Structure 1
Amino acid sequence: MIVMGLMSGTSCDGCDVSIVEINKGKPKLLFFYSKEYPEELRERIRRCMNRKKGTVDLITQVNFEIGQFFGRVAREAMVKSGITPHIIASHGQTIYHIPRPDQNKGEKTKSTFQIGEAACIVEETGIPVISDFRVQDVAAGGDGAPLVPMADFIMFRDKNKSISIHNIGGISNLTYIPKGANPEDVIAFDTGPGNVLINQLTRELFNMEYDSEGKIAKEGKIHMEIVNKLLEHPYFNLNPPKSTGPEEFNIDLLREYINRVPGKDLLASVTFFTAKSIA
């Protein structure tokens, strides 16, 4: 069976496409393609993710806009690769994730929400689409993320050695596979922020999408009092399995420092904090 996977993460960069052949449960990558979101769509997505700006009418429209964009990107990947998959699997764009309802915010229900209308992808490609993967896990009592550990287990399990796999996106997640493990032995969780705080701060202070190769942060001085304060975030004291998102780790954590710490120093400190939280 040949399957196309579509993915967009919390960084809102765009859509990654992989086309894989699955034979006897083992995947083989045949083709990879990536396309950035148009700037206008990226900004509309970020508005959807904002508690104050994400109105019902906006989310309704952007749901279709993302689906249409995913569909066009999927079609481009098919043309470029010359491969037509049997099915398309689309995770969707996470708009809001509530693994631990916060009553202070008026949250009552453990829940998660991804958009990117699957019907639009079907219309663009003519291929059946499987989508919205997180919700079933949350409905069953899980956190809905990270979802990649089962794939990690299938691809990297080893009888003779334990393996740890780390994925650093907007949010950082870890999969630990003990040697000779069964699926229930796998440990997986979000460690905390990946590039989400770094990117948000870079946009706020330098009007850039991200700090390429850490060039700006390299020019700054690390303030350990900021690093140590951020490391006191209660998420780090939770036991796995656990998940998080930009709902918890966002620019609001840094507001008290923005006007009193030089921008390059603050970016250096946040970058160091991120690395230390992962380590």
Structure 2
Amino acid sequence: MNKYIAKLSEISAKPERLIVGLMSGTSLDGLDIALCICGADGIEVNQFRSIPYSRELGERLSAIQSRETTKTRELTLLHTDLANYYAEAVTNALTDWTVPLEEVDLIASHGQTVYHAPSQINKGINATLQIVDGDHIAQKTGIITTSDFRQKHTAAGGEGAPLAGIFDEFVFRHETGNRLLINLGGIANLTWLPSKESGKEVITGDTGPANTLINEAMQKYFDKPFDEDGKVAASGKIHSELVRYILLEPYFRKSFPKTTGQEEFRLKYIEQLMQGHGIECTEKDLVASLTSLTAQSISRAVGEITSENFFECYVSGGGFHNNTLMGEIRERIPKAEFRDFDELGIPADAKEAVMMAFFANDLVSGEGFPIPGVTEEKIHFGKISLPG
């Protein structure tokens, strides 16, 4: 028997596993690394760090992400280059945390989404592509690596996103209280978690852009990767007409569950929309307007999925650090009691990396999960790469 198959069997039988979760979102801001202890009683974050991408790497990824056409050579090279980058980052982190490589049971790598094509933009076929090769990570670290979690979702008839709803329901759903979880990455997604005792269904989906348009505008007009603390947005004036025209886009009228990506929300399209309607605004006003667009699209989505008069709200993702964005979200969802995500036992910035560890744990030792609205059959997400 392959010794790694035997080892995988041993890992599966353990009461708990030490798993490194890796996540890089569509914001292209860097790699999140979460060292997690996963068992039947839940998931615990032992260590966490986030490593910013270099400007060069960010630009390479931006050049291929969500593009109708791209260079096949660069796509192929990044598939391997990023894997080597991930492997080195994991090795360095474990060294700093004084955790021997051989003590880690699994690495769970989401990879970098380069194109997301759900059925509404792809003639009825659900497809999504994440690069970063699991075999390279496994070979370089000597740790069994799980990856490519979204493909089973599409293979089973889902859209590949968001996966957060499954994770949120199993980890954060409360027995008696209603909760709303919002994640502000490149794209914003939310999960409505009615109390278990209510018997009501969980609702999840993407609301539209979170940071992606803001970041594009900051990079183009201010030569900065993002709007730190929302300072640029705070210095500008919201162009209400521009926001209104963007919110007329078909995606915002689609009912939940739904998913989208940067393929549908690019700064170039917003600028074409402005030109077509004769809208002029300063660069600061554009950032302010795109920030308000995120807040308004989220609040509209919340209004569509629940009429509850009170619920707790927990926000994660990079956009959580944008004070201007968070201020408007709080104003537009007055029924919510906004609470610190850390109260749920997981750091806000670590949530999606922890989610990868969660799915890896289930892949090797769990029963799988149904995909709401798609299949009641329990599905395991991810692929397994052995070190040898």
Q: TM-score, length-normalised on structure 1? A: 0.93
What does 1:1-279 correspond to in 2, within 5 Å? 1-49=17-65, 51=67, 54-83=70-99, 84-100=103-119, 102=121, 109-180=125-196, 185-256=201-272, 257=274, 260-279=280-299
Q: Report the alpha carbon displacement of residue 184 of structure 1 after superposing the two structures with TM.
A: 9.1
- Alpha-carbon distance in 1 for matches of 2:172, 2:197: 11
- Alpha-carbon distance in 2 for matches of 1:154, 1:190: 19
Q: Structure 1's 26 and 52: CA in aligned 2 closer, same or farther, altered over 3 A?
A: closer
Q: Report the alpha carbon displacement of residue 123 of structure 1 after superposing the two structures with TM.
A: 2.1
3-state SS of paired residue (1:185): coil
Q: Report the alpha carbon displacement of residue 253 of structure 1 after superposing the two structures with TM.
A: 2.5
Q: Report the alpha carbon displacement of residue 6 of structure 1 after superposing the two structures with TM.
A: 0.3
Where structure 1 has 5 or more consecutive residues not aligned to the other structure, the ranges are none
1:25-54: CA deviation from partner (whole Å, max 9, x where unpaired): 400110101111122121111111253662
Q: Report the alpha carbon displacement of residue 140 of structure 1 after superposing the two structures with TM.
A: 1.1
- Alpha-carbon distance in 2 for matches of 1:131, 1:115: 10
- Alpha-carbon distance in 2 for matches of 1:183, 1:125: 44
The one-letter amino acid of 2:286's match is L
1:63-85: CA deviation from partner (whole Å, max 9, x where unpaired): 00111111111111211222342
- Alpha-carbon distance in 2 for matches of 1:182, 1:86: 38
Q: Report the alpha carbon displacement of residue 100 of structure 1 after superposing the two structures with TM.
A: 2.4
Percentage of identical aligned residues: 37
- Alpha-carbon distance in 1 for matches of 2:132, 2:80: 6
Q: Report the alpha carbon displacement of residue 260 of structure 1 after superposing the two structures with TM.
A: 3.2
Which has the higher mean CA deviation after the structures are superposed, 9-18 or 52-61? 52-61
Q: How many residues align?
A: 276
The one-letter amino acid of 1:115's match is I
Larger radius of gyration: 2
- Alpha-carbon distance in 2 for matches of 1:52, 1:58: 15
**Partner of residue 11, structure 2:** none
The one-letter amino acid of 2:289's match is S
The one-letter amino acid of 1:92's match is G
Where structure 2 has 5 or more consecutive residues not aligned to the other structure, the ranges are 1-16, 300-388
Q: Structure 1's 124 and 181: CA in aligned 2 closer, same or farther, altered over 3 A?
A: farther
- Alpha-carbon distance in 1 for matches of 2:199, 2:29: 31
The one-letter amino acid of 2:118's match is P
The root-mean-square deviation of aligned C-alpha atoms, in Å, is 2.0
3-state SS of paired residue (1:19): strand
Q: TM-score, length-normalised on structure 2? A: 0.68
The one-letter amino acid of 1:141's match is G
